[in-house]
Amino acid sequence: MNDTPATYIESEVPEYQGNPLIEALPPIRGTRDAVRLIRQSPALPGNEINLDGSIRLHCLNRITRVVQPFLLHINLEQSFSILIRSGYLGRNPFHAHTARHLHSISGTEHTPFESTANSFCIFGLSGMGKSTAIKSILNTYPQVIRHTNYKDQIFPQAQVTWLKIDCPFDGSIKALSLSFFQALSDALGDKSIGQINTRIGTAQLIQKIKQLASTYYLGALIIDEIQTLLNSRIGKNNILNFFINLINDIGIPVIFIGNNSAMKLMSGTLRNARRICGSGMLTFDRFMKGDQEWDALVEKLWKYQWNKPSTELTPALKETIYHITQGIPDFLVKLLILAQRRVIGSDNEAITEDTLYLVSDTSMAPLKPALEALRANDFRANEYFEDLLPAKEVIESMMFYQPVNTNKLLELISSQEDFLTDAPPEEIKQKTPQASKPAKKSSPTPIEMEDWECTDAFEFSSSQRSN
């Protein structure tokens, strides 16, 4: 339970002023602050490499806690910031229309409500870190804010800023409703919310969701694994209608997350596309060889070596790593962990190209068909890997966005300045500074700004990495 008392900061945006639900949120962040909050750099091995091999093996999973910000993370942070605040615009608890709306939901008489909420989608390859990215953003917001007084007015209110649930495997509204109640119960620490009579009808469950979401001023609902709706027994349109009703009837913003096969939800009619991508779409495509963000990620993760002595990252090893993982971060993490498991405790703990290929052929064997499809760039040959389809192969055109001063932003998120945030002081002193790789200039006169921002946050495609 992420619970915090309300502290109000008046916003510089006039539309946000006088709304306690917005003013209690963290301040709108500049790019530099967003990078700092998203980046996670657990302690490097340091003297742990002198421990017994059986102990070192237990340290390897620390690699999974590393979060290296990408341009998409920054774009997603700003997209979420806009989405949650826009959703609260039409639900100011001190406005009369909000009180009438709350009364309407709990009763039988419908009161017209002008929703300011919207939705957007996060689609991409499996293993690209979509769920990790949104989790990193959500962790920068308190999930529950406790209000008591606002500007000399009594305001005893619990505000739930976000809930994240998985779409049920059968795509049923009932299963989704129960997941919602349990998530809200966990957030508020109130077990009674999750104790719902499962015999009540779907209509009653939906009404209960509307009441609770309105009562606790839910800021955003995140639905992961949205591609399961393709297998829904009740039809994808029925459950999409349920989500759209949340947006339109009670003003709750919704974020949909899924692999690329979920894009089929938009097929058939423009109406479906407008429904689930009201504010646009962010796509997570694999990194191309030589991509600056990919190189920065490999170099950062390579520093987490518990094998003794550690192995230098050579161009040949970089080439092998990309060939095996095909630019997918999750596969990279698995490869580095499994390679160290292979060598730790052996006579020679060096990681070689042969070590990496051996791991790929044995421990990562189940991934080989999908990786072969990626290498061949022919995804239609195997229907079982349709979720690996690059977004550009699924839809012909994508919303385009070019961040302001991309070169400086890439330099910032690739920097290793705060690598040893959790390390002992003596290890920090021994750290050798590493200069970030200079970015290629995309403009002869880059825009100089004190704190450069990513604007038009909803219009960005990760396919721009290769440009």
pLDDT tens digits for 32-91?
898 998 899 999 999 999 999 999 999 999 999 999 999 889 999 999 999 999 999 989
> pTM for the full model?
0.77
Question: Directed axis angle between helix 292-302 and helix 406-414, to 10°?
Answer: 10
Quick one: which of 414, 459, 450, 424 has its CA closest to 283? 459
pLDDT band at 303 (very low <50, low <70, confident <90, very high): very high
Q: Which of 88-92, 169-173, 247-251, 369-373 has the lowest mean pLDDT?
A: 169-173
pLDDT for position 395: 34
pLDDT tens digits for 105-129?
765 555 666 778 888 889 888 888 8
pLDDT for position 466: 41
Query: Which DSSP state fits 170?
Result: T
Q: Are 93 and 20 in contact (CB under 8 A)?
A: yes
Q: Mean pLDDT score of the chain, rounded to an integer?
A: 79
pLDDT tens digits for 160-177?
999 999 988 777 788 888
Report CA 304 to chain centroid distance, whole Å.
23
| Greater model confidence, 467 or 69 | 69
Confidence check: pLDDT of 307 > 60 = yes
Q: Are 368 and 388 in contact (CB under 8 A)?
A: no
pLDDT tens digits for 139-163?
999 999 999 999 989 999 999 999 9
| Greater model confidence, 197 or 203 | 203
Query: Which DSSP state fits 439?
Result: P
Confidence check: pLDDT of 461 > 50 = no
How many whole angstroms separate alpha carbon 65 and alpha carbon 132? 10
Tokens for 452, please give them: 């450069």
Q: Are strands 281-284 and 254-259 parallel, antiparallel or unpaired?
A: unpaired
Q: Are 257 and 131 in contact (CB under 8 A)?
A: yes
pLDDT for position 54: 92
196 φ/ψ sector (left φ>0, alpha ψ -120 to 50, else beta): beta
How many whole angstroms separate alpha carbon 118 and alpha carbon 104? 21
How many whole angstroms separate alpha carbon 387 and alpha carbon 374? 11
| Greater model confidence, 245 or 162 | 162
Give percent above pLDDT 70 in the chain: 75
pLDDT for position 108: 53
Class of domain 71-284 (CATH, top level):
alpha beta
Location of each CATH 3.40.50.300 domain in the chain = 71-284
337 C-beta neighbours (distance < 10 Å), count: 21
pLDDT tens digits for 408-450?
667 776 665 555 444 444 443 343 444 334 444 343 333 333 3
pLDDT for position 65: 94
Beta strands in 236-284 (DSSP E): 254-259, 281-284
